[in-house]
Each structure stands twice: as C-alpha cells, then as structure tokens.
Amino acid sequence: MDRFAQQLVDGISAGAIYAALALSLVLIFRTTSLVNFAQGELALLSTFVAWQLHAWGLPLATCIAGTVAVSFVAGAAVERTLIRRRERHDHLAAVIVTLGLYLVIDGLVRVIWSADVKRFPSIFPSGLLELGPARLSWQSLGVLAVLAAVVGTLALLLYRTRVGLAMRAAADRPDACALVGISPQRMFMLGWGLAAALGALAGCLVAPQLFLSPDMMAGALIYAFAAAVLGGLDSPLGAIVGGLTIGVVENLAGSYVDWIGPDLKVLVGFATILLILLVRPQGLFGMRWTVRA
C-alpha cells in the first residue's frame, strides 16, 4: 500500500462527499441565485428521517427512496413559504432566512435525536476494491457512481427537456419567462425541491462513512462551498470536478506541505474560495456570475 496513492484515493472519496453537497448548492444557485447556507442541515434532517424510518423496521432502500421523495416536497415547500416572498426583491433577507433555517434544524435535530453517534447502514456492499497500491471501499465507489448518474440525469433534464429549458430560462430572465407563459415561481420551487431531494440522497449515501450525528454535515459544508465556487456556482459538472479536486488537494496539502499540516487543512478551502472568486469568478465550468442586486 502506497501512501501517496492512498491519499489520492481518499481525497477522491472525501471529494465525493463535498461534490454531493456542492451539487445541491449549485441546483439552488442556478435557479434562484442564492447560496443556501441551510443546505447541509436540510440534508442532515432528511438523513435523520431516513435513519428513523429504518430504525422502525422499514427496508433501507424504501427509507431512502421515501425520504428523497418527501424531501423534494419539503424543499419546494420551503421555497414557497419562506424564501419566495423575500427572494425577489431582497437577496439579503433570503440568505438570512437560510441561516435561520440552519440554526433551527441544528437545534431540532439535537432535541429529537440527541447528539449520540449513530450507525447508518450502507446500501453498497461492504468490501474493498484494490486499485493497485491503494484501496477504495465499495461504499465510496458507490457514492461516485450515483453522483455520476445524478449529473447525467440532471444534464438530460436541464438540456434535453422542456422543463429544463424552462428552468434555465427562469433563472436567467424570470420576467421574460412570465411573458412567454413559463411560471418562474414554479421553476424556483422545482429547483429547491430537486436540491432538497439530492441533499437527502447525498446525506443517506455518505452517512455510513461519516457516521450520523448532528454535526455530520457542518464540517463538509465549507469544503462544499469551495467545491461549488471552484466548479462555477451554476455548473453541476463543475460541482463534481470541484469537489473531487478540493478533496484531493486538501488531503495532499495536509499530508505533504509541512507548514499547512493536518491542522490548517481548512485553509485550502478558504484560499480556494478567495482565489477563484478574485481570479476567475465564473469558476472552471460556470458560464458567468449572475449579477442580481
């Protein structure tokens, strides 16, 4: 087993977690030009719901599928009830609502499920894959495969269907949309619903690796921000590439750059966000930064 190869593989495996979260951030940013600070907590809440259903004896796949569906509806409902009225004229207020949601969900989860560490079973086989000098778990590989499938489906949805066209149009020119009979509001709800569903899926997939507890997502969120910024905040493919890159760079910097070391790894996320926004605000794959006051 080779240290460098294993750091690389583990970086990819951590990157898959950041990518999953970044992808749902991107979905919301694309549709509503908002950064949803509650994204991680919403995913966490969904994961706890799935865990609870499983603890009550339902089969795991059913729990995850059910939670994803419920999360879709809940995400759309959050947009409809809490975000919409604020979002159109006042971005600041909408961002602050997402911060409020973050606080509420964090508190609620601790009250309902306590802070104890819980095991979340994996839907993937438990074995390992020998990749030459490194080992990758089927669990991580499974997360990557699902992510790839999700990005593919999203691309099809966004670029090959009428709904996708409408969603993109609503994001770019909401007022013009209304004139041609597309309801931008409905598209915003759809974006939030999809993001919440994706967050639920991501939470259930990574929980076996991170172990379920109220702060499961908090640490990953900052790297997910970095990943989304790196990829360009509006590009699903960018979120994946950004997540994997951040995961790998963070691991290698923490292991091989002495003055960073494991304790200052988090600076990689900070530096990435700052540098990319200054040098290339549209990220690697983003089209441009949508300016909306």
Footprint (CB under 8 A) of other proteins, residues 104-133: 104-108, 110-111, 114-119, 128
222 touching other proteins, by CB under 8 A: yes
Q: Residue 263 has what DSSP assignment? A: G
Footprint (CB under 8 A) of other proteins, residues 74-103: 82, 85-86, 90-93, 95-97, 99-103
Residue with tokens 């499974």: 142
Is residue 188 a contact partner of residue 168, using CB atoms and an 8 Å limit? no
72 or 223, CB closer to other proteins? 223
Footprint (CB under 8 A) of other proteins, residues 146-205: none
Measure the CA–CA gap between 144 and 167, rounded to whole angstroms. 26
Footprint (CB under 8 A) of other proteins, residues 260-279: 261-267, 269-270, 273-274, 277-278
Find the helix or strand (DSSP H, E) in which 130 lies.
strand 128-131
Footprint (CB under 8 A) of other proteins, residues 224-253: 225-226, 229, 250-251
What's the token pair of residue 264? Answer: 């200052």
Footprint (CB under 8 A) of other proteins, residues 15-44: 17-18, 33-35, 37
Measure the CA–CA gap between 70 and 285, rounded to whole angstroms. 31
Measure the CA–CA gap between 34 and 22, rounded to whole angstroms. 13
Phi, psi of 90 (to 5 degrees): -145, 90
Q: Residue 83 has what DSSP assignment? A: I
At its nearest, how many Å lie between other proteins and the CB of residue 8? 10
6 touching other proteins, by CB under 8 A: yes
11 touching other proteins, by CB under 8 A: yes
At its nearest, how many Å lie between other proteins and the CB of residue 281? 7
What's the token pair of residue 54? Answer: 């499983």
Measure the CA–CA gap between 33 and 292, rounded to whole angstroms. 8
48 or 223, CB closer to other proteins? 223
Size of the site for other proteins (CB under 8 A): 81
- Using CB under 8 A, pick the residue from 255, 283, 285, 286 that binds other proteins: 255
